[in-house]
Amino acid sequence: MHNSVFDRMAFAALCVFVASIPVEKLIEVPGLGTVSRIAGLLCAAFGLLAIVVARKIRRPGITLIVSAVWVAWICASKYWTLSVDDTADRVGTHTQLLMIAVLLWQFCTTASHVRIIAMSYGVGIAYSAGNTVYRWLTGAGQVYYQRFAVEGFDPNDLALTLALGIPFLYWLSLTATSRKAAWMWRALIGVAAFNIFLTASRGGVLAMSVAFLFVPWTFRALGRTDRVLLMIGAVIAAVGLVAVVPATSWQRIATLGKEAKEGTLNSRTVIWSAGFEAFTEHPVAGVGSGAFPESIRSTMGRPRDWAPVAHNTFLSILVETGLTGFAIFLLLGATLIWHIRRMPWMEARMWIILLAVWTVGVSALSWEHRKPTWLLFTLLPAHAAATAVNASRTVRYSNRYEIASENNNNEVLVTA
């Protein structure tokens, strides 16, 4: 655990930062900005102070090193960008996110820390879900026609943010120390699913479907009673969703198949075509980070105030940073897969599902500079390092869990 009061304060600030992600723009302090920005500033202040006082910093892992190289390439793109202002904004964003990644790696060193971070994300989901439901009940939360979301959030962004929380919440339920806590986390999953349907996000529902694959994939971790209760609860939840979710949400979600086969996915395919054309003109170095809208403006033939993002993270990275930046990003993904191979089976499956959910979700969103992306890409290697087990140690799972001890190598013994 953390040795100094500064370490504990830095970790507490990180927890607030993570909890703020699902409600990033909902809570704002006049003169200071969003709660996420305030938490980020506190993380930097306490984190740097703790490092200076301790006079030591944790050796960076391979993922963090590759992340730094990727950010360095993004910063370099300001010398050839098509949009200086947009690239400057993106450089600032990525630099701040890299700083948070360094601090998360520095202070999230045990499996207990990872659980607390996951719980913090769950707290944020609970607050976000409660606010969305309230706005739906009062009729004040329509972002677009019959699409509901937390204030300041795009419905598609909120849906993916919630979908990413489902594997975290289910993992917390599987590793809870009491049945009461386990079912509390599972109930929150149902609330998150309801909120995703309220957003009427087709991509969000698809990502959520992938997230729920974690349940059958880890079914053997449950006892017989919990298996029966879980199946009954799933049936009740399904019936409740059909009865309560607005018909307009079902109607929009039902168009996913037709839109994918015959439509343009709300003009996304048109934007993607223009993006590929921009890539062929700047294949090696790209058009500059954040400059995707400028790169397709002439092709799309739209006015200057119309600036669509790529609506696909992989295409966005390819066009903005070129083959060079895209190769670095692929290397970053390869390090994540390498870390997963070193993890216990339960955690490994959770992270496989999380990366799958992220991949599906960002295929229709530009999320390379969003906080959930960087949280996943930093927390995964931290979790892998924290749960590394010796060959002589056996980690067993059942329907009940108890964290028994932690050794000097940040390993956690989990016993039934």
Q: Which residues neighbour 328 within 8 Å (Cβ) at sequence distance 6 or greater?
A: 66, 69, 70, 73, 321
Distance between CA atoms of residues 47 and 148, nearest Å: 37
What is the pTM assigned to this prediction? 0.89
> Residue 351: pLDDT band by 50, 70, 90 thresholds?
very high
In this predicted structure, what is the pLDDT of residue 147?
81
Mean pLDDT over 231-254 rounds to 89
**Is 50 exceeded by the pLDDT of residue 271?**
yes
**Is 70 exceeded by the pLDDT of residue 393?**
no
Distance between CA atoms of residues 377 and 363, nearest Å: 17
Buried/exposed 41-57: b ≥16 CB within 10 Å, e otherwise? ebbbebbbebbeeeeee
Range of the domain at 92: 5-415
Mean pLDDT over 346-355 rounds to 96
Identify whether the C-beta of residue 60 lies closer than 8 Å to the C-beta of residue 11.
no
Distance between CA atoms of residues 177 and 183, nearest Å: 11
**Is 60 exceeded by the pLDDT of residue 397?**
no
Per-residue model confidence as pLDDT tens digits over 7-32: 888 999 999 999 999 988 777 777 77
In this predicted structure, what is the pLDDT of residue 152?
76
In this predicted structure, what is the pLDDT of residue 90?
95
Residue with tokens 């931290």: 382
Read off the amino acid at residue 192. A
Identify whether the C-beta of residue 129 lies closer than 8 Å to the C-beta of residue 192.
yes
Mean pLDDT of the chain: 86
**Is 70 exceeded by the pLDDT of residue 2?**
no
Least confident of 34-43, 176-185, 289-298, 372-381: 34-43
Cα distance from N-terminal residue to C-terminal residue, the chain:
23
DSSP letter for 406, please: E
CA distances from 88 to 191, 201, 267 (A): 39, 31, 28
In this predicted structure, what is the pLDDT of residue 96?
93
**Is 80 exceeded by the pLDDT of residue 266?**
no
In this predicted structure, what is the pLDDT of residue 357?
98
> Residue 365: pLDDT band by 50, 70, 90 thresholds?
very high
Per-residue model confidence as pLDDT tens digits over 275-331: 999 999 999 999 999 999 999 887 776 555 556 788 999 999 999 999 999 999 999
Considering its fold, how many domains does the chain have in total? Answer: 1
Per-residue model confidence as pLDDT tens digits over 99-123: 999 999 999 999 999 999 999 999 9
> Residue 153: pLDDT band by 50, 70, 90 thresholds?
confident
**Is 60 exceeded by the pLDDT of residue 398?**
no
Q: Which residues neighbour 354 within 8 Å (Cβ) at sequence distance 6 or greater?
A: 164, 167, 168, 376, 380
Per-residue model confidence as pLDDT tens digits over 172-195: 999 998 989 999 999 999 999 999
In this predicted structure, what is the pLDDT of residue 174?
94
Identify whether the C-beta of residue 310 lies closer than 8 Å to the C-beta of residue 271.
yes
Q: Work out the percent of the chain whose per-residue pLDDT is above 90.
A: 57
**Is 60 exceeded by the pLDDT of residue 408?**
no
Return the structure tokens found at 86: 């947009």
Using alpha carbons, select from 183, 209, 213 the residue that is nearest to residue 196.
Answer: 209
Bigger pLDDT: 416 vs 176: 176
> Residue 261: pLDDT band by 50, 70, 90 thresholds?
low
Distance between CA atoms of residues 205 and 82, nearest Å: 35
Distance between CA atoms of residues 292 and 290, nearest Å: 6
